[in-house]
Structure 1
Amino acid sequence: MNLHTLPGLFISHGSPMLAINPEQVGPALNRLGLNLPKPQAIIVMSAHWESNALEVSTAVRAMTWHDFRGFPEQLYDIRYPAPGDPALAEEILKLFADAHIAAHANSTRPRDHGVWMPLLHMYPEADIPVVEISLPMNMSSDQIYQIGQVLSVLRERQILLIGSGSITHNLRELAWHGESRNVPEWASTFRNYVVNHLNHSNYEAVLDWENIPYMQRNHPTIEHFAPLFFAMGTGTRFSVVHSSFSMGALGMDIYRFD
């Protein structure tokens, strides 16, 4: 079997509405899925699985979880029945153990929309095994970055690593109805700061997230930004796959790490 080294990705998964209203990012995700060698498996750290300790899904086939309320009925009919991969999950747990990172198996966790929504656009056939890992909220940015480093060896076996969050995520400031406002300066400044430092391989400036300009305004809570730290750990060469804003201030960027 001729295996290709896949990149690590950071995907801004946006609102659940992305599943039925793909805007600009849906086609970008679709192209990405077509352009990359087909993964043997996909590992996703999602903003929507916050945990105390690091957990790994060992489910044979995780249920599709509609972990949101108040959206159109058709959204709740969507299923993403990709299989799990318990053997890969056990291998991930061993990699963590070897790196002295405490982690636990979880066989019952359903698959949240941070996982299935972007994959719906990338791999609509849902025929690639998916393993979700949690976002441990008691870990520092450096420790989450290390999780990406530990799993980066799997890229050489055509396994795709994804951090699924959002480059900006202040839901109270979005234009939910009507035309999207212009992108506010606090959102574009934040996004440009992050990209500029990643472009110059200054990962430390991004891991020092508390000192990024307008951090609090873009991320009142950290969980949608933290999957970027994981993606950063997967590779040292950074590139922007896609950049756009939705509903004014919701950044929809996709980043690639090789």
Structure 2
Amino acid sequence: MMPSLFIAHGAPLLAIENNEYTQFLNDLGKNMPRPKAIVLFSAHWESRAQKVSNVDTYNTIYDFGGFPPELYQIEYPAQGNQQISDEIQDLFKSNGIPFEVETERGLDHGAWVVLRLLYPSADIPVIAMSVNPKLSTEEQYKIGKSLSALREKDVLVIGSGGTVHNLRAVKWADDEIDQWAQEFDDWLFVHLTNWDLESLFKYESDAPNAEYAVPHYGNEHFIPIFYAMGAADDAKKASLLHRSYRYGNLSHSVWQFG
């Protein structure tokens, strides 16, 4: 059965960098079973209603500014998949999850940076999904859980964000890792590997340094982990595949569920 993944998409510069993390994602895409399609929840697509893409060919969204010109020349023309989009809609209906279909929006950098590192040929169909930071963690998990049947059909579910993502705390010229970031990720490791939903759902009050690692203005980057985790509720197994940091505290974590 296909696992689900939580992947930190880091800074947009990853799209043109060659480093430990980009090499890891390149290798991950080569070594994993090839998915029939990818369902991706991106931190950079927020909406109150759950959005499900039904797009023929995605345009590439450059939702950032002030970066080198070559970043704005990258294109990732992934195709959609009508059948998988319809299946997702049916699963949401049967689980009582309200949703809206999106037929025009392209892929933001939370999606295409990750996808391009995993599958540079853009030859795997993609269904882009929004996230809703206003929902409870239980509700976010439930949305992911409703899609668990897709894994049996070789569909890869990805949550794209970051476990530690506080742009007001990053140190662009300093790669010495902040202790508070490591302590938060260490807590997360314990409770993810134990599938401790009770603690994870209360991470804001229970996790050390949660107010720094997941600030209220930026929790959209953390919550994709609940969508990805929920998609593997039938297996309840979590494995940390990679963890590194850039700019002092921006985490590059990759978690596999299932």
TM-based fold match above 0.5 = yes
* Residue 217 of structure 1: aligned partner: 212
Code of the residue aligned with 2:131 in structure 1: it is L
Q: 2:61 aligns with which of 51, 61, 65?
A: 65
1:257 correspondence with 2:257: yes
Contact 1:43 1:131 in 2 (8 A): yes
Contact 1:53 1:138 in 2 (8 A): no
SS in 2 for 1:216: helix
Aligned-pair Cα RMSD in Å: 1.0
Structure 1: stretches of 5+ with no match in the other structure: none
Report runs of 4+ in structure 1 exceeding 3 Å deviation.
Answer: none
* Residue 143 of structure 1: aligned partner: 139
SS in 1 for 2:45: strand
TM-score (norm 1): 0.95
CA distance in 2, matches of 1:62, 1:207: 33
Identity among equivalent positions (%) equals: 40
SS in 1 for 2:147: helix
Code of the residue aligned with 1:250 in structure 2: it is L
CA distance in 2, matches of 1:106, 1:204: 33
Code of the residue aligned with 1:256 in structure 2: it is Q
CA distance in 1, matches of 2:104, 2:133: 20
CA distance in 2, matches of 1:99, 1:37: 28
* Residue 223 of structure 2: aligned partner: 226
Code of the residue aligned with 1:210 in structure 2: it is E
1:133 correspondence with 2:129: yes
Code of the residue aligned with 2:231 in structure 1: it is T
CA deviation after TM superposition for structure 1 residue 176, in Å: 1.4
1:241 correspondence with 2:241: yes
* Residue 33 of structure 2: aligned partner: 37
TM-score (norm 2): 0.95
Q: How many residues align?
A: 252
- 1:182-203: per-residue Cα shift (whole Å, max 9, x none)? 1111100001100111112212
* Residue 208 of structure 1: aligned partner: 202
CA distance in 2, matches of 1:155, 1:26: 25
CA distance in 1, matches of 2:66, 2:136: 33
* Residue 190 of structure 2: aligned partner: 196
CA distance in 2, matches of 1:106, 1:201: 33
CA deviation after TM superposition for structure 1 residue 138, in Å: 2.8
CA distance in 1, matches of 2:80, 2:18: 25
Code of the residue aligned with 1:219 in structure 2: it is V
1:162-181 pair list within 5 angstroms? 162-177=158-173, 180-181=174-175
* Residue 154 of structure 1: aligned partner: 150
